A and B are shown apart, each in its own frame.
Chain A
Amino acid sequence: MTEVVSGVETHNGGAVATPHEVAPEAFQRRILAAADAGARVVAYYGEGHAPHVTLTAVLADDRSGRLEILRSRVDGPSLPSLTPQLTELHLFEREVFERNGLEPLGHPWLKPVRFTRDGDVVGVTDYYRVEGEGVHEVGVGPIHAGIIEPGHFRFQCHGETVFHLEISLGYQHRGVEGGILRGPTKRVLHLVETAAGDTTIAHTLAHCEAREALAGTRVPARAQAIRAVALELERLANHVGDLGALAGDVAFLPTASYCGRIRGELLNLTAALCGNRFGRGLVVPGGVAFDVADPAELVERLAVIERDATGAVDLLWSTPAVRSRFEETGGVATATAQELGLVGVAARASGVAVDVRSDHPTGMYRLAHIPMSVATSGDVYARASVRWLECARSFAFVREQLTALPRGPVRVPLGPLEPASLVVALSEGWRGEVAHVVRTDAAGGLASYRILDPSFHNWSGLAMALRSEAISDFPLCNKSFNLSYCGYDL
């Protein structure tokens, strides 16, 4: 008879005393049992270096809104891999091997994640190869034709059909997490803002909520409303930009041109909030750094933007040539999305209903609910239409918040952090779930800081979407995911 261990239960943004470490066997059994019961792995990381590694796993039960934190100390060079039973751990285990040297025995494909070990050269590794008559290999990147981030994509093709796509990243590894731990404190916020530059608000929000939870600070209602407005504006700008870029990828010019402009207008709204188009400097621990002076003016500008965006995007849906390109391209089945642990737009487009704003709400989202937008077909069309559904709901949400902003201060001072505690803060960025896992030491300083960008979960979704797809449709599929390289590389 084996003992039944369960982790410490908490919720999004709820600080708990650092959980006790359990035996590795119990730790692994519990993860598998929780996953069997429908839990999702939010984070799984190690501290220290083999032969002494402390593993932390964060599991989310999306139906009840509960998070479970498990910690275990592993003494030894290796641990049996859980990936064969639980696919969504494949990248986490590779990362623990790369960072902490703890080898997952029996991992099916133990490759580098970011090439950070001594002697690693980014991009130099064994790639999966398909051999045979008519099979050819196409390598794209890390230097691309457009002005985009570096990443290497290797296709195993037969004619125009892709058998297998392997994505190799790590070119942008900057050591964000290490930088946050080293301090100084003033630099930390800047590092968080640029963890993934297009997701500034979502990352700073998770970061600040984590610190506020550890300090026991309650953020004023007005600040919470402004934060939610900024998060939705970030979503709107990126979703509208993506819809335009999707149109551009199939050479449908009208929507591409209009959405490019409208994205700029939405970024300007964020600039009206804080002076920066990407929301840098807006969200700070304890609230927001800037109050909204004239919400009515923002509502007016938003109405014009909404009208223009609706016109431009409706053109997309009403053009059969566009729909025929989007439909049945780059499909990800619901089961695959679940197995890989996809999050955000990519998961919802494949029928996996996960959304931090609904499942684990914090701040203003506890009071003002945003309905979840879900599609089932999992193709480019589904990812595009989920984006547009979310836009419509975000427009309504921002309008509602700005017309009824709570009164009061927008910032309160932050106290010292609770020592020996751990907190998980989630926010729903425009790509999906952003998670920051923070642990403090006995003196109340930062002991570990882990950032998970939605891209970390979702790149393997793109690789699966390309199976048996035409290689000429890769750019379109890639755009429909539009994942972050630097958010993955950190």
Chain B
Amino acid sequence: MTASANALLGTVVDVLALLALPPLLLGVINRVKAIAGGRRGQPLLQPYHDLLRLMRKGMVFSETTTWIFRAAPLVTLVATLLAGLLVPLGGGAGRIGFEGDLVLFVYLFAVGRFFTTAAALDTGSPFEGMGAAREVTWALLTEPAIFFVLLSLATLSDSLSLDTMLLAPATGHVATLVLSAVGLFVVLLVECSRVPFDDPNTHLELTMVHEVMVLDHSGPLFGAILYGAAMKLFILSTFLVRLALPTLDDPWAGRGVALAGVLGIAALIGVVESATARVRLSRVPNLIAGAALITAVGFLLAVR
């Protein structure tokens, strides 16, 4: 096989993994939580069945909603998918990628968030407005953390492209990488609405953050939201794995390590969710600000 064919095949595999694997992460998290709780738990592939079930359902639209409500899930999904294409899984570059794409990466998520919160406000429900307010407040606090991580990586790799930043070996800066990884893990938990920041299992609207914004969506559009949220989890996990694990010369081995790492992060989330309770909503900003500070220290060490 020629080198270019190999690279093409790698790209296809990367994209397929991005499309197919996200729900599996939710299955892994649920399984770990079930085992920790002394239960057998739902099937590992249950999230896929849930998505298929939603795709076959009809939809209900409130009369007060506008096109934003219908467009938001798809816009968010597409934005997330594009952001996913910017992150190298483990092989070489070859998908979308250019100098400065790290800014696009962050703002693609912001576009998704903008539409999700706009759709929530579109319903006019007091619950959804409350959720939107919480989501935006927290996003305001997670953004600095993400940017400090990106700045650290840009400094270490002397590049503004995610491909180079995440694939170039950054040995000799263990402290920066560790601090960035810790901060990014907190960001991941916040962004993907996991315990201790949010509780994806609760049915209590008043305590929800992300879930409450999508209460009025149903059927395929709701499926698109859940799928997009799982994909976000996959993307941020990939990012974190690439940050934390050494880059291998062989792209296929690199892919294998990355995928194993992503599943490992899902298991780690399951452990965190089993071992701790949700923090009080009013204390969440302190925790996120703490994560931002940690990444800031990492950045200072990188530019020192």
Contact = CB atoms under 8 A, between A and B. Distances in A.
Nearest to A319: B277
A325 interface: yes
B196 interface: yes
A138 B204 contact: no
Interface string A301-341: 00000000000000000010110110001000000000000
A254 B38 contact: yes
A488 interface: no
A258 B38 contact: yes
Interface in B254-304: 273-274, 276-282
A325 B281 CA distance: 10
B201 A251 contact: yes
A254 B282 contact: no
Interface in B194-230: 195-196, 199, 201-207
A319 B277 CA distance: 8
A105 interface: no
Contact of B37 (A138, A249, A253, A329): A253
Contacts of B36: 253-254
A439 B36 CA distance: 55
A473 B280 contact: yes
Nearest to A257: B37
A322 B273 CA distance: 13
Given A136-B126, A139-B126, A471-B130, A253 B274 contact: yes
B277 A321 contact: yes
A139 B207 CA distance: 14
B203 A251 contact: no
B39 interface: yes
Contact of B279 (A139, A249, A256, A321): A321
A175 interface: no
B148 interface: no
B33 interface: yes
B127 interface: yes
Q: Say which size band chain A's interface belongs to.
A: 20 to 34
Contacts of A474: 206-207
A443 interface: no
Contacts of A137: 126
Contact of A472 (B196, B201, B203, B207): B207
A252 interface: yes
Contacts of B129: 136
Interface string B36-51: 1111000000000000
B104 to A, nearest CB: 33
B202 to A, nearest CB: 7
Interface in A220-279: 247, 249-254, 256-258, 261
B126 A471 contact: no
Given A253-B37, A325-B280, A470-B281, A140 B202 contact: no
Interface string B137-149: 0000000000000
Nearest to A254: B37
A136 B124 CA distance: 12
B130 A146 contact: no
B240 to A, nearest CB: 22
Contacts of B282: 160, 470
Given A145-B203, A251-B202, A470 B126 contact: no
B127 A252 contact: no
B204 A249 contact: yes
Contacts of A329: 280
Contacts of A159: 133
Given A254-B36, A258-B37, A138 B126 contact: yes
Contacts of A473: 207, 280-281
B47 to A, nearest CB: 18
A475 B206 contact: yes
B38 A257 contact: yes
A136 B279 CA distance: 24
Nearest to A472: B281
A408 B277 CA distance: 51
A250 B130 contact: no
A322 B278 CA distance: 8
A247 B201 CA distance: 13
A138 B278 contact: no
A252 B280 contact: no
B279 A138 contact: no
Nearest to B33: A253
Contacts of A472: 206-207, 280-281
A252 B38 contact: no
Contact of B280 (A249, A470, A475): A470
A321 B196 contact: yes
Given A253-B33, A256-B37, A257-B39, A146 B277 contact: no
B256 to A, nearest CB: 31
A145 B205 contact: yes
A138 B127 contact: yes
Nearest to A137: B126
Nearest to B200: A251
Contacts of A160: 130, 281-282
A247 B199 CA distance: 12
A471 B133 CA distance: 13
Contacts of A247: 277
Contact of A252 (B126, B205, B207, B277): B277
A321 B126 CA distance: 29
Interface string B98-121: 000000000000000000000000
A324 B38 CA distance: 25
Interface in B22-68: 33, 36-39
Contacts of A253: 33, 36-37, 273-274
A251 B127 contact: no
Contacts of B196: 251, 321
9 contacts: A136-B129, A137-B126, A145-B203, A249-B202, A251-B202, A321-B278, A324-B279, A471-B206, A474-B207
Interface of A: 136-140, 145-146, 159-160, 247, 249-254, 256-258, 261, 319, 321-322, 324-325, 329, 470-476
6 pairs of A and B residues whose beta carbons are closest in the complex: A257-B37, A252-B277, A475-B204, A321-B277, A251-B199, A250-B277
Interface of B: 33, 36-39, 126-127, 129-130, 133, 195-196, 199, 201-207, 273-274, 276-282
Given A250-B277, A254-B274, A472-B280, 7 more contacts: A139-B126, A249-B202, A251-B202, A251-B273, A252-B277, A256-B37, A321-B277
